[in-house]
Amino acid sequence: MPRISYVNGQYVPHAQAGVHIEDRGYQFADGVYEVCEVRHGYIVDITRHLDRLNRSLSELRIAAPMSRAALVTVIRETLRRNKVKNGLFYMQVTRGVARRDHVFPAEGTRPSIVITAKSTDPSIIARKNAGGIKAISVPDNRWDRVDIKTIGLLPNAMARQQAKEAGAQEAIYVDRDGFVTEGAATNVWIVDADGTLITRPAEHGILRGITRTTLIDVGAKLGLEIAERKFTVADMLAAREVFITAATSICFPVVSLDGQTIANGHPGSVSQNIREAFFDVAEKIAI
């Protein structure tokens, strides 16, 4: 079945889908994005993802490409045309096409919007959950506004590649003061000796992950103690459990960091309980 993508008002075969070479996303990474999970025919946490998209757009002063209702219709149609039941959609909005100039283009320049959808293999996620993943720590070398979900992901791509070359699956950023910020494409959590679930506050230095927000609701439902406070690599190495969260994977246990084993080197029960309870708590709308 050929993949279909949505580009600026049209559904086109994925292989032919494209934007203009002077799109500001292409030239300046002047745009924002969202990745949202689809599971068993339901879109997960769409309200929170669209709220964050609006926030990212307004922080960068990019106009909304269409109304929220229209966007949901297009997302559903893109998923239907690709027959996605388990997988994800990716949505990107840029400031649009204009002659190359750093300053913003003329008022009224239409933002560009692209939506792609794909099915994913749940068995790959299951395997990562069963064995856990390895991570490395790297200095956080990103700009100051990582709270905005921009498409400017070069440092993140470099860090993920560094992790891959070290035989790991995620790179975990550490700020100048020695505190963990987040992963190259995930938020980071630890469970301390008392069983408290700890994650960095989202006010500064990290993206406020949607999975992170929903997981706080899940933790409350499970009666877990949750603390939003900073922690270090040493805290991670001393933790009972470490895991990372992102849409499409919920949470992956981290069983080693920089080659050092965390706890007994096996995924812990807290991340497993959270994963099992996650979809009962998350918002779901049928495709």
Distance CA 199, CA 244 (A): 10
CA distances, 259 to each of 27, 188, 252, 285 (Å): 38, 17, 17, 41
C-beta closer to ligand PDD: residue 52 or 134: 52
Distance CA 279, CA 276 (A): 7
**Residues near 248 by beta carbon (within 8 Å), at least 6 away in sequence:** 35, 37, 88, 120, 125
For the bound state, the minimum distance from the C-beta of residue 159 to ligand PDD, rounded and expressed in Å, comes to 10
Q: Taking CB under 6 A as the rule, does residue 35 contact ligand PDD?
A: yes
* Beta carbons within 10 angstroms of residue 230's beta carbon: 16
Q: Taking CB under 6 A as the rule, does residue 247 contact ligand PDD?
A: yes
Q: Which of 100, 75, 77 is nearest to 24 (CA)?
A: 100
Which span (16-24, 58-66, 109-117, 203-211) binds ligand PDD, by CB under 6 A?
A: 203-211
List the one residue from 82, 182, 189, 268 that touches ligand PDD (CB under 6 A): 182
List the one residue from 211, 219, 263, 278 that touches ligand PDD (CB under 6 A): 211
Torsion of CA 4, 7, 8, 11, to 10 degrees: -10
C-beta closer to ligand PDD: residue 239 or 246: 246
List the one residue from 32, 138, 185, 242 that touches ligand PDD (CB under 6 A): 185
For the bound state, the minimum distance from the C-beta of residue 180 to ligand PDD, rounded and expressed in Å, comes to 12
Which span (54-62, 110-118, 128-136, 242-250) binds ligand PDD, by CB under 6 A?
A: 242-250
Q: Taking CB under 6 A as the rule, does residue 210 contact ligand PDD?
A: yes
Tokens of residue 147, six digits: 């709270």
For the bound state, the minimum distance from the C-beta of residue 62 to ligand PDD, rounded and expressed in Å, comes to 18
Instruction: State phi, psi for 64 to the nearest 5 degrees.
Output: -70, 135
Query: Which stretches of the chain bind ligand PDD, using CB under 6 A?
Result: 35, 182, 185-187, 207, 209-212, 245-248
